[in-house]
Structure 1
Amino acid sequence: MSYRDASELAHRLGQRAEAVCRHYLFNGCRAGGYWLVGDVRNTPGRSLYVRLKDSPKGRSGKWTDAATGEHGDLLDVIRESCGLVDFKQVADEARRFLRVAPAAPMPSTASRSSAARGSPEAARRLFGMSGPIAGTIVQSYLQCERGIMDLRETGNLRFHPRCYHRPERHGRVEVWPAMIAAVTDLQGKVTGVHRTWLDPRRLDKAPLDTPRRAMGELLGNAVRFGIGGEVMAAGEGIETVLSLKQVLPGMPMLAALSAAHLAAILFPATLQRLYILQDNDPAGEWACSSMVERARAAGIEAIVISPQLGDFNEDLCHLGIDAVRNRTRMQIGSKDIARFMAQA
């Protein structure tokens, strides 16, 4: 990416400076024409200030940390608050945010028009109110409970500290922290979200009858990790897909969230080879068979890869990453091993 492209991204983020701060620096608050927070990594405090509007003193989106003297723009905020490394990841996350962020500062809850429960608009609002997963229970859940240590390309996962859980029938509405996953279409537009409510004491799913739920327009869409190209992998669950991504970090992947939705995902026009992650149960076998037929009818090479246990996260947790790597190596093409597989 050229300097001009980066400058344009920073300028567009600056036009939505307050929305950026509310999303990535949610531990801070607005004070006059500035957003105050502890530092660029979203630590609570008031030493870092972000300019929210253009003024003779500077452009909107520029920030300075009075404690350290550091300064920068909102691309730096995204990089540090999300724990990203290379600039391509930062740029991809900035573009994703700009597609779903409000054009103006978010109004108060009282002045906002309501969105129908379960609608794509309600899903987009929930995702917009959620923050990065770095340093939260979501990161702890994925790494400690699920063995998913490498969290690159997980910009579509977010953390909400107080997400409502409504019972299926009668009962009390409860509030739990949650992992919020954006469901997107082929153009990257958020069409829905998937919620996983978490128990902060056990770092596992919350003790609810239905600790996972999705809402919005799901059919054909998915939770995406990486930008799809000519080769990609698709599976059912978020944790299942991220488990395989531990050994194939460079391969774009998507989680369809269920066997039925896996069978119905839409294929990118650029796709030439699709790896299908099979769950070892009847629903998983049916979904893979349907996917193979659809892919081949579209002229796409389809290859089913299967775990040793029930799914790839079970393999990762119970057999270890070396077992997942070795089993995957036996099932994918040699060119894709060289291109995508992380070396031990």
Structure 2
Amino acid sequence: MSIQPTQSTDFSLSAEELREFHERGYAGPFTLYEPEEIKDIWRRERVKLLDRSAAVYQDEEAHSGVTNIANYDRHLDQTFLAEHICRPEIVDRVSSILGPDVLCWRTEFFPKYPGDEGTDWHQADTFANASGAPQIVWPEDTGFGGTITVWCAFTDATVDMGCLQFIPGTHQTMFYDETKGMHYDPATVNAVDKDGVRRGFFGYDYRDLKIDPDWEPDESQAVSMDMAAGQFIVFWSTLMHASHPHQGKTNDMRMGFASRYVPGSTHVYPDTEVVEEYGGRVSLDRYGAVVVKGENRNPENRIATETTRGVPFSRRHG
């Protein structure tokens, strides 16, 4: 059975929303699920995720490290997540920014448990920061890069529970050089920064990539993205973003699910058969980007037309 969009409404960003997005680098939050609806869904789906028999990444090496890259791209085997990335409420808004041809090239879970550190300020253009090699490359004539990230709160995401932070307007200038590379060191987890905040970057020190070693993010301009369960935010990966620590004032975890989108002309995972980062390594043998709207315009891309369980992905038209 094919995954079908749940609504036919056009959810494209309005002219004013698009203007604000280009100015700030983010849009939202928008509501996708009602809080009780997503809480019920998440209780059911998190159990299904334990079954890795159809997951595209099976390598034992992927289970090491602070961030488990074996749990990348579970939309390629789990029906709910496959439907989620194709939802018109998401795809129409992303297409407003990227154009008529859109690929979902990666998804990731971002759990934060009581007592977990925050994530350090960072930007991502080609996503070479941890892997050491570009993972997405836009056509040369575009003069830009990055991905549109749709970060959906599967649970409440408050300041105390570790919600996202943005520094508006920082998406058009890269303050980091991803080609410099970072050294993986799990001992950096739960380190305390100069202001006494527990922040890190999954076993890396993102400050190693700063173009100007003396530059510091202007945190006085930071805004916190407090979201209820079922809401999502749309932002450029080149926007300066971070997250608060989970203060442990509640025993509830914070779970975010990020789906990442690029234009159909983008080259996904060029010249590589594996992804190595965060202390893990996975093969791309079973991987494929998903066309969520329009067409794939790069013939070198691996494309998945159905999940590993045989459920076709929906493609948005018009």
Query: TM-score interval w.r.t. the shorter chain?
Result: under 0.3
- Decide which structure has greater helix share: 1
Name which structure has the greater RCO, CA cutoff 8 Å, separation 6+.
Answer: 2
